[in-house]
Every structure is written in structure tokens, then in C-alpha cells.
Structure 1
């Protein structure tokens, strides 16, 4: 659900977009996710995403808050 949000922000399309690792933290009022996403079949290039889903009576769609480009599969997924 956040792929189109990232593509719009960076003005680039990603034909490959596969979550490799996801860390979740549930806080009062919402869930925060750190996600490492593979964006290439031929290299180990990844992006790191910080996504929030607000919990309300009608849960909102996940929202891409921050991202880091030019990451590698071996790079640790840490809060940013």
C-alpha cells in the first residue's frame, strides 16, 4: 500500500518491491512499522521505510512518513 506513496515522493517507479524485514511497534493510537524493501532482482539494493497506521474507529491506510534510499540488504534496519 505504500509503494505508490514512495514512487510519488521520489518520482520513480519500482518494478520490484518486496518486503524483506518488517519491525512493528504498537503505540497508543497507532502502529509504527520499519520496513526493509528489496527494489531489485539483480542487485541487493533496498529502501528503508517508516510507515504509520493510525488506529481510529475506521483504521486509516498506512502512511509513508520517512524513507531512506540507496540501502543494501546487509544494512541494519534501525529507527530513523
Structure 2
């Protein structure tokens, strides 16, 4: 089943936040409709988990940038 996981997560590291978010929405919608086989459902679930992790990476990076900018601004005012 390793091949399934590789296919399910292929290309995710190259996605922008918006691309990952939009694809995650499509994956969730497809899961809600029900995949024809258990294997397809598992592949969708794995891809959804990977997409959610990618979105979280983007959000954590944005938070770090905002924190750094805020710290720099506060340091300039002192």
C-alpha cells in the first residue's frame, strides 16, 4: 500500500495555500459522495490528510512571518 500513499501525496509540496485548500475542498466533497471502492476512499483520505498538513504548513509560516514583523515593529518603537 506504499504506492497508494505516494500517489495520494504526489505534488502536494509544490501547492500554494490556495491550491491546497481548494483541492482539499474537492477531496472532502468526493469523500462525502462516497468513492466506489474502499481503496479509492483510503487514497482520498490520505490525500486529504496531506493537503490539510500542507495548509497548516502555510498557515504556520504566515504566523511566523507576522510574529517576526510585529517583533521588528515593536523593537523599532523602543
Per the normalisation by structure 2, the TM-score is: 0.23
The TM-score normalised by the length of structure 1 is 0.22
Structure number with larger C-alpha Rg? 2
Which structure dedicates a bigger proportion of its chain to helix?
A: 2
| Structure whose residues are more often strand by fraction | 1
